[in-house]
């Protein structure tokens, strides 16, 4: 191990030295692109594609990708944007897989949705597999509560889970309208089956619906009967799926205490995908779009510690230089799957499309798409 791999040297304590030698910063900054002509190639390809294509960039994307986005936003805003532009033959979605699926569901049949890197998935969405959800529902049916239970699935779920939700009388929600969606569900049933993010479901129930922790139970798909007794399921008002966001789930009460101790007068602003104790300790809780609005509308000189994806926090700090903006966690934490979409993949996708070959097309089968669209349209119809 004299020369050693990077992993070996990290274990030996030489990792930071080697990273420095290689020009990689540990402060959260990404290294420069290896191809010095990459930006120019991206500009040429984007111009050549013209109005045939639209590039959608999620707020959590790298700046090098956002620079070429026609529209930036959260997952649903971007899917809506694709649906509202039927003239775009090609929709290049710089986000993750479930977002591209939603865009394919909402766009016309002659539009093609492209994901520059097929490995860009979502750990939360992957925590709710279709067969697991169907097994849980079968147990609800056996127990006699399925006909009184309305499924609500977060936008951050696969097309299959959205389809399950639509087929069983439920709707999709986003972090900004989860309260409305859950109230809608309670108007139609006695219980809610909330998928796949336990924290968004719990935080919404406790903060906005007047429910208590005792009203919520957690279904663990890896345990027999979800790890719950029949009595617990019968008494519950909200059955939460055991899923979470790997980025937002990292933030802790210690993070909140530490930032308050080192930054006088700071306000803590977090996403509702964070754990409940973090949400309760924060000054402001809001969706991605709400976080952006809150910071942009705050007075000069205000201080914010933000608990959401690091790319967005860094971008807010750069675009609001009159405010002090820090990441809630002192350690670097990008969304690893979201960051798979980088400039090399975007350039490759655009140049390949220009060459006449469609790559990485995301296509949802008709039956799945039908019921997923039903669930999405129910959300769109919410007051």
Structure tokens at 340: 């798979």
Res 141: pLDDT = 98
pTM for the model stands at 0.85
SS3 30: coil
Give the CB-side neighbour count of residue 128, counting CA atoms within 13 A.
Answer: 34
Topology of the domain covering 34-120+342-367: Rossmann fold (3.40.50)
CA 175 – CA 379 distance, rounded (Å): 12
Contacts of 254 (CB under 8 A, 6+ apart): none
Res 368: pLDDT = 97
Query: What is the number of other CB atoms lying within 10 angstroms of the CB of residue 80?
Result: 17
Residues of the chain predicted below pLDDT 50: 1-31
Res 33: pLDDT = 56
Res 70: pLDDT = 96
Q: Judge whether 34-120+342-367 and 248-327 match in fold.
A: yes
Query: What is the number of other CB atoms lying within 10 angstroms of the CB of residue 239?
Result: 24
Res 332: pLDDT = 67
Res 3: pLDDT = 33
Q: Which CATH class is domain 248-327?
A: alpha beta
> Residue 149: what are its φ and ψ, rounded to 5°?
-115, 130
Alpha helix positions (H), the chain: 6-11, 15-21, 38-49, 63-66, 75-83, 97-106, 123-126, 130-143, 159-167, 178-186, 198-208, 230-235, 253-262, 276-281, 288-297, 310-319, 343-354, 366-380
Closest among 180, 212, 193 to 145, alpha carbons compared: 193
Res 60: pLDDT = 85
Res 287: pLDDT = 92
Res 34: pLDDT = 62
- The domains of the chain are located at 1-31, 34-120+342-367, 125-245, 248-327
Which CATH number does the domain 125-245 belong to among 3.30.360.10, 3.50.50.60, 3.40.50.300, 3.40.50.10800?
Answer: 3.40.50.10800
Structure tokens at 165: 């939700």
Contact 149, 192 (CB under 8 A): yes
Q: Which residues are paired to 152 by β-bridges?
A: 171, 194
Q: Strand order in 303-307's β-sheet?
A: 284-285, 267-270, 303-307, 324-327
Res 83: pLDDT = 83
Res 340: pLDDT = 85
Contact 170, 188 (CB under 8 A): no
Q: Characterise 298 by phi-psi region: left (phi > 0), alpha (psi -120 to 50), beta (else).
A: beta
């Amino acid at each position: 191990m004299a020369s050693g791999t990077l992993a070996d040297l990290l274990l030996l304590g030489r990792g930071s030295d080697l990273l420095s030698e290689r020009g990689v910063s540990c402060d959260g900054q990404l290294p420069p692109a290896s191809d010095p002509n990459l930006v120019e190639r991206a500009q040429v390809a984007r111009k050549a594609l013209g109005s045939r294509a639209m590039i959608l960039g999620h707020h959590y994307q790298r700046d090098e990708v956002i620079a070429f986005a026609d529209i930036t936003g959260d997952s649903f805003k971007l899917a809506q944007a694709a649906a509202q532009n039927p003239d775009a033959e090609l929709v290049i979605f710089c986000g993750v897989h479930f977002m591209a699926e939603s865009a394919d569901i909402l766009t016309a049949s002659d539009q093609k949705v492209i994901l520059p890197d097929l490995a860009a998935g979502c750990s939360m969405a992957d925590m709710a597999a279709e067969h697991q959800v169907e097994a849980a529902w079968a147990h609800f049916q056996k127990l006699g509560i399925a006909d009184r239970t309305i499924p609500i699935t977060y936008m951050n779920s696969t097309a299959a889970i959205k389809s399950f939700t639509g087929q069983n009388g439920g709707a999709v929600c986003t972090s900004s309208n989860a309260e409305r969606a859950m109230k809608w569900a309670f108007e139609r049933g006695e219980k809610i089956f909330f998928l796949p993010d336990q924290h968004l479901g719990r935080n919404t129930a406790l903060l906005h619906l007047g429910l208590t922790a005792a009203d919520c139970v957690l279904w663990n798909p890896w345990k027999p009967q979800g790890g719950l007794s029949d009595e617990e399921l019968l008494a519950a008002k909200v059955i939460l799926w055991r899923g979470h966001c790997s980025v937002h789930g990292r933030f802790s009460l210690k993070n909140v205490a530490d930032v308050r101790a080192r930054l006088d007068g700071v306000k803590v602003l977090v996403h509702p995908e964070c754990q409940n104790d973090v949400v309760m300790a924060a000054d402001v809780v809001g969706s991605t779009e709400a976080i952006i609005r809150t910071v942009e509308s705050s007075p000069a000189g205000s201080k914010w510690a933000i608990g959401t994806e690091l790319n967005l926090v860094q971008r807010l700090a750069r675009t609001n230089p009159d405010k002090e903006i820090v990441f809630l966690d002192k350690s670097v934490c990008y969304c690893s799957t979201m960051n798979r979409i980088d400039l090399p993949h975007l350039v490759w996708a655009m140049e390949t499309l220009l060459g006449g070959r469609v790559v990485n097309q995301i296509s949802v089968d008709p039956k799945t798409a039908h019921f997923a669209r039903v669930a999405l349209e129910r959300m769109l119809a919410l007051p």
